[in-house]
A and B are shown apart, each in its own frame.
Chain A
Amino acid sequence: MRNYGFGRALARGMAVSTLMVSMMSTSVLGQSVDLSKWSPEYVRSIAGTEEFDTAELCGAVTPLDYEGRLTFWYQGVFEGDPDLLRQYYKDFFEAFRATYPNIELEEQALTYNDLLDKFRTALLGNAGPMVVRLQILGGVEFASKGYLQELSPEDVGWKTEDFWPGAMKSVMWEGKTYGIPTNNETMALIWNADIFERAGLDPEAPPATWDDVVAYSKQIHDKLGVAGYGLVARKNAGNTPYRFMPQLWGYGGGVFDEADPNPTYEEIRLDSDASKQALQASVDMYVRDQSVPVSALTNQQADNQPLFLAGQLGMMISHPSDYNVMLDLQAKATGDDQTKAQTVIDNMRYGLIPTGPDGKRAVVFGGSNIHILNPEYVEGGEVDEAAAKAMVCFWTSPEWSLKMAYAGSNPGNLNGFKTKWMKERLDSIKFLDVTTSMLPYGVPFPTLPETPEIMNIIIPDMLQNALTGAMTVDEAAEDAAEKVRALTEGGGL
């Protein structure tokens, strides 16, 4: 089992790395982790080199004997998630309560697809929580509407330089900071080596370009009758932009200029030739070759996973959690099923996300941020600031920002990479090198209030219009561009 030519791929991707480094701009010099040296080897070299005492560090922000009350919503982990991750979440709240025994904590876990809508509804009724942890594309929308308090890493004892510059951009609105990144992730391409081999492809080499993905997908489908690539196009599900945007950026397209070194978000590029080319690739797979799941229009990643694990899907985009999910399933299987599960694990391969025709490689710079609400939108009309900061400090600490992202993501606080738990992760989670190697290729979503609407509604709509034949590729792209224009220049949200 080997990971496809990292060094070579990384070298080829230097242009993108340069882009990322330019995003780091002045902050890179003060960074606790040197992002300009980022490579799997560098990540390994810093892992386990430093220790952090969370209670001591957060105690300097909010005294450990502080008495107060806190309501907190977050995107939780549930029954389908790996046991390991669920245990860390459980440990986190136990540790917080043990560290701050006099803070009465009311936490509420919400599902990924439910959180934004539920939060919006609660805000309408001034019934929000004091602190909320939202997916990365949510923060700016709520900051722009005045729901969130200004909050920067310095407010809870950290430095802005302790966090990825791209992640910090996702909590900025009109020059002010409204939250702190808890975790950041980039995904990778997973493929089934056995399917590749049976389809006549090199089992150890992933498709190098998106055009290769289209060709490989067709070959797999034609030879074996199973789906080649796990296309997802479900509306109002974050999984769709996370999988389509890397393709869009790879071909050189974009919603705006978000993949450029210094984006201004002023030029709409959804109807550019490059964007249309990316959309055409999806149409080729779904309509022309019929080499992706027919249910792609309503699929999200949770629907791809069973197909992949059952050997009915050749390739998909996902993060390292899939490997942990598989280990979990194998541990809980019995008899013959356990052997079959082991075969699936043996055939799993992770590689870098393919490039576009010009060698451009990009991936969504994902993750979550934590925010404190303004009192008027909170149930009871009051925010216990000290208790809120204690929670924010705790979650964004090197220790917990790593542990809470243990199986599927990476710590928001870059110092998390230096902890002993990062070293443990690198030793125990196969393929982690691949997804951390994708971090420099990460492109943050546009930091605009309209981004959730664009990513969760307009982009999936564009895909669905083209895939169902309701519109041609040109029409779908132009229609989507027009909707973005109307949203950002006209009506707004």
Chain B
Amino acid sequence: MTSTSDTATPRSRKGVDGWRWTGRIFLTIMILYTALPMVWMLLTSIKSGFAAMQFPPQWWPTEPTLASYRKLLDPQNSVGQDFLRFFWNSLFVSFVTTVLAVVVAVPAAYAFSRFRFPGRKFLFFAVLLRNMFPAVIFLVPLFILMRVLGLVNTHGSLILTYLTFGLPLAIWLLKGFYDNIPIQLEQAARIDGATRFQAFLLIVTPLSVPGIIATAIYSFIGAWNEYIYAATFLTKNEQLTLPVGIQRFFSENTTDFPGLMAASFIMSVPVVVLFLVLQKYFVRALTEGAVKH
């Protein structure tokens, strides 16, 4: 018995180790694949314009400089003024989109999850229908619509558009979440005298916080990174958002690579921070609907 066990164990461990090492190598490659561009972006952002164009590249800047960051964050010079304005515009549009997405998606998803009404299935899939077409198809029709509504060159046009695109997935995401909250909890609250709204607000909502946070992150990232609609609806310099604004680093014949990389790095900070702080909710919400309780 013992000898059998002794011979079996190393063979089994060997097999497990092989898979484990394959996994580790794969993960290392994936980490390098995702992290190296970020590292290169950061390194380029602390080079001078000339150093950024050297070949072979300066893997580590011989003369590191924060000039690009100083320029971008200095409200006294025109580049800094523009960049900071673009940043606040993006923050404003993304924040308002996120708040409105949550305010609309939460009751809508709850209704789809809990209520049975005529056309429920049709409406649910109708909401998803928009996401089955490439966004660019709606570009010109939406531009003309915004023009009729008088919203061209306003942040309202972007907020409205981002909600149109973001809400379907937000509703779908939250519905899955509500489906997994046992209805008995609400029934118990109702028996204890709570109204339906109180049961929703005091029982269901706290339980669905991870889903709401995930929806919020999703809406925020979508609005923060969106380019094509922002580039089409906005023409005034004072209205531009960051994805459109950083085009300024490309000119007809030349590109300011360190400035572009510094702007891209600063632009990625809010999203990365938001995701790192709230990622456990995001992952939980995405996987919650996969398991039936």
Known: A125-B144, A379-B152. A80 touches B50 (CB 8 A): no
CB distance from B59 to the nearest CB of A (A): 14
A124 to B140, CA, bound (A): 8
Q: Flag whether A332 is at the interface (Cβ < 8 A).
A: yes
CB distance from A325 to the nearest CB of B (A): 5
**Closest residue of B by beta carbon distance from A90:** B78
Interchain CB contact under 8 A, A302 and B48: no
A73 to B236, CA, bound (A): 9
Q: Flag whether A41 is at the interface (Cβ < 8 A).
A: no
CB distance from B122 to the nearest CB of A (A): 33
Contacts of B235 in A (CB 8 A): 73, 108, 110, 118, 122, 127, 129
Interchain CB contact under 8 A, B247 and A111: yes
Contacts of A118 in B (CB 8 A): 231-232, 235
Q: Flag whether A81 is at the interface (Cβ < 8 A).
A: yes
Per-residue 0/1 for A292-319: is the Cβ within 8 Å of any B Cβ (1 yes, 0 no)? 0000000001100111011110000011
Q: Flag whether B53 is at the interface (Cβ < 8 A).
A: yes
Q: Flag whether A174 is at the interface (Cβ < 8 A).
A: no
Known: A112-B251, A332-B50. A124 touches B143 (CB 8 A): yes
Q: Flag whether A144 is at the interface (Cβ < 8 A).
A: no
Interchain CB contact under 8 A, A325 and B253: yes
Q: Flag whether A51 is at the interface (Cβ < 8 A).
A: no
A340 in complex: contacting residue of B50, B52, B147, B253, CB < 8 Å: B50
B248 in complex: contacting residue of A75, A78, A238, A332, CB < 8 Å: A78
Q: Flag whether A358 is at the interface (Cβ < 8 A).
A: no
Per-residue 0/1 for A83-125: is the Cβ within 8 Å of any B Cβ (1 yes, 0 no)? 0000000100000000000000011111111100010011011
Per-residue 0/1 for B54-98: is the Cβ within 8 Å of any A Cβ (1 yes, 0 no)? 110000001101010000000000110000000000000000000
B63 in complex: contacting residue of A111, A113, A121, A336, CB < 8 Å: A336
CB distance from B166 to the nearest CB of A (A): 23
Q: Flag whether B156 is at the interface (Cβ < 8 A).
A: no
Known: A109-B237, A329-B50, A341-B50. A79 touches B249 (CB 8 A): yes
A321 to B143, CA, bound (A): 37
Contacts of A125 in B (CB 8 A): 143-144, 146-147, 152
Interchain CB contact under 8 A, B51 and A321: no
Interchain CB contact under 8 A, A302 and B255: yes
Known: A79-B249, A90-B78. A121 touches B140 (CB 8 A): yes
B250 in complex: contacting residue of A73, A302, A336, A337, CB < 8 Å: A302
CB distance from B51 to the nearest CB of A (A): 5
Contacts of A379 in B (CB 8 A): 152-153
A229 to B50, CA, bound (A): 21
CB distance from B265 to the nearest CB of A (A): 15
Interchain CB contact under 8 A, B256 and A79: yes
Interchain CB contact under 8 A, A80 and B53: no
Q: How many residues of A contact B (CB 8 A)?
A: 55
Q: Flag whether A262 is at the interface (Cβ < 8 A).
A: no
Known: A80-B254, A80-B255. A307 touches B249 (CB 8 A): no
Interchain CB contact under 8 A, A79 and B50: no
Interchain CB contact under 8 A, B254 and A305: yes
CB distance from A452 to the nearest CB of B (A): 16
CB distance from B161 to the nearest CB of A (A): 14
Interchain CB contact under 8 A, A80 and B250: yes
Q: Flag whether B259 is at the interface (Cβ < 8 A).
A: yes
Interchain CB contact under 8 A, A126 and B253: no
Contacts of A322 in B (CB 8 A): 253-254
A471-491 interface with B by 8 A CB criterion: none
Interchain CB contact under 8 A, B249 and A78: yes
CB distance from A493 to the nearest CB of B (A): 16
Per-residue 0/1 for A326-351: is the Cβ within 8 Å of any B Cβ (1 yes, 0 no)? 00111011111110110000000000
Q: Flag whether B49 is at the interface (Cβ < 8 A).
A: yes
Per-residue 0/1 for B245-285: is the Cβ within 8 Å of any A Cβ (1 yes, 0 no)? 00111111111110110000000000000000000000000
**Closest residue of A by beta carbon distance from B56:** A310
Interchain CB contact under 8 A, A311 and B55: yes
A321 to B252, CA, bound (A): 11
A311 to B53, CA, bound (A): 10
Interchain CB contact under 8 A, B250 and A335: no
Per-residue 0/1 for B148-174: is the Cβ within 8 Å of any A Cβ (1 yes, 0 no)? 000011000000000000000000000
Interchain CB contact under 8 A, B48 and A78: no
A329 to B252, CA, bound (A): 17
Interchain CB contact under 8 A, A81 and B50: no
**Closest residue of B by beta carbon distance from A79:** B256
Interchain CB contact under 8 A, B55 and A312: yes
A111 to B256, CA, bound (A): 13
Known: A109-B237, A118-B231, A332-B67. A318 touches B253 (CB 8 A): yes
**Closest residue of B by beta carbon distance from A318:** B253
CB distance from A91 to the nearest CB of B (A): 12
CB distance from A74 to the nearest CB of B (A): 12
Interchain CB contact under 8 A, A310 and B55: yes
Q: Flag whether A77 is at the interface (Cβ < 8 A).
A: yes
A311 to B55, CA, bound (A): 8
A341 to B51, CA, bound (A): 9
Contacts of B63 in A (CB 8 A): 333-337
Q: Which of B143, B251, B259 gathers most chain A CB within 10 Å?
A: B251
**Closest residue of A by beta carbon distance from B67:** A332
**Closest residue of B by beta carbon distance from A408:** B253
- Listed A/B pairs (23) with beta-carbon separation below 8 Å: A75-B252, A78-B250, A79-B260, A80-B249, A108-B237, A111-B251, A239-B252, A301-B252, A302-B252, A309-B50, A311-B55, A312-B55, A322-B254, A329-B48, A329-B49, A329-B50, A330-B50, A332-B49, A332-B50, A334-B48, A336-B63, A338-B50, A408-B253
- Which B residues fall within an 8 A CB radius of A? 48-55, 62-63, 65, 67, 78-79, 140, 143-144, 146-147, 152-153, 231-232, 235-237, 247-257, 259-260
- Which A residues fall within an 8 A CB radius of B? 73, 75, 77-81, 90, 106-114, 118, 121-122, 124-127, 129, 238-239, 301-302, 305-307, 309-312, 318-319, 321-322, 325, 328-330, 332-338, 340-341, 379, 408
Q: 4 tightest CB-CB pairs across the interface, nearest first?
A: A125-B147, A306-B53, A112-B252, A310-B55
Given A333-B63, A335-B63; 18 other pairs, CB 8 A cutoff = A78-B251, A79-B249, A80-B259, A111-B248, A111-B250, A112-B252, A118-B232, A125-B146, A301-B253, A301-B254, A302-B252, A305-B253, A306-B55, A321-B254, A333-B50, A336-B63, A337-B51, A408-B253
